[in-house]
Amino acid sequence: MKNILIITMLLGVGYSECNETNWEEYYPNMMYCDLEGADLSGADLSGANLAYADLSGADLSGAVLQGANLWDANLSGANLEGAYLFAVDLWDANLCNLVKSPSGDVCEESVTDSNGDGYDDVSYEVGYEAGATSGDLNLDGSGDVLDVVMLVNNIINP
């Protein structure tokens, strides 16, 4: 029993040392990583376990986070522009003040659903006005056969 406690303590110390300069050494087990303000633009973080990680103010633009676990991660003020977020677990993640969010400077704590359709009216209107890219799975700017191929591939190889 004593050995298990020592191993657990050592693992906790290891995770707490994970930061912007050495995160690749910890990938994919990046729980509790301190990545505040880190430049992770374009990084492939597919399948990474970033539970409880501090990604506040991080630049994740163009990053691939497919299948990543972001349980209770702090993404406050992060830039996710162009990031690929397919099958990402955001349970209890802090998504306040994301770069280019509709409010820009406050955490959106409530959903406005005046028409009762189950969707946030403000987010829908912003997406509609900006030209939402629904169905554009490969993010090339158009919905075409390559998106269908990617969808089928994701179904066959989850």
Q: Max Cα separation, the chain?
A: 60
Tens digits of per-residue pLDDT, 44-94? Answer: 999 999 999 999 999 999 999 999 999 999 998 899 989 998 999 988 888
Say what the pLDDT of residue 98 is.
77
**What is the band of 28 on the pLDDT scale with cuts at 50, 70, 90?**
very high
Say what the pLDDT of residue 60 is.
94
Say what the pLDDT of residue 12 is.
47
Is 84 in the same domain as 123?
A: no
Say what the pLDDT of residue 14 is.
43
Domain boundary among 100, 130, 145: 100
As a whole number, mean pLDDT of residues 22-31 equals 95
Average pLDDT value over all residues in the chain = 78
pTM: 0.58
Distance CA(128)–CA(17), nearest Å, equals 42
**Looking up tokens 């189950």, which residue turns up?**
118
What residues make up the domain containing 80? 1-100
- Interior angle at CA 143, CA 96 and CA 75, nearest 5: 15
Determine the distance from the C-alpha atom of residue 98 to the mean position of all C-alpha atoms in its chain, rounded to a whole number: 11
Q: Is residue 36 part of a domain?
A: yes
Give the total number of structural domains in the chain: 2
Is 120 in the same domain as 149?
A: yes
Closest CA to 113 of 103, 122, 100: 122
What CATH number is attached to the domain comprising 77?
2.160.20.80
Say what the pLDDT of residue 5 is.
42
Is 71 in the same domain as 137?
A: no
Give the rounded percent of residues in the chain with a pLDDT score beyond 70: 64
CB neighbour list of residue 67: distance below 8 Å, 6 or more residues apart:
46, 47, 86, 87, 88
Look at residue 140 and tell me whether its pLDDT is greater than 50: yes
How far is residue 7 from each of residues 4, 18, 35, 44, 51, measured CA to CA in Å?
A: 5, 17, 24, 29, 20
Domain boundary among 100, 132, 147: 100
Is 96 in the same domain as 29?
A: yes
Is 88 in the same domain as 126?
A: no
- Respond yes or no on whether the N-terminal peptide bond of residue 102 is cis (omega within 30° of 0): no
Distance CA(105)–CA(32), nearest Å, equals 25
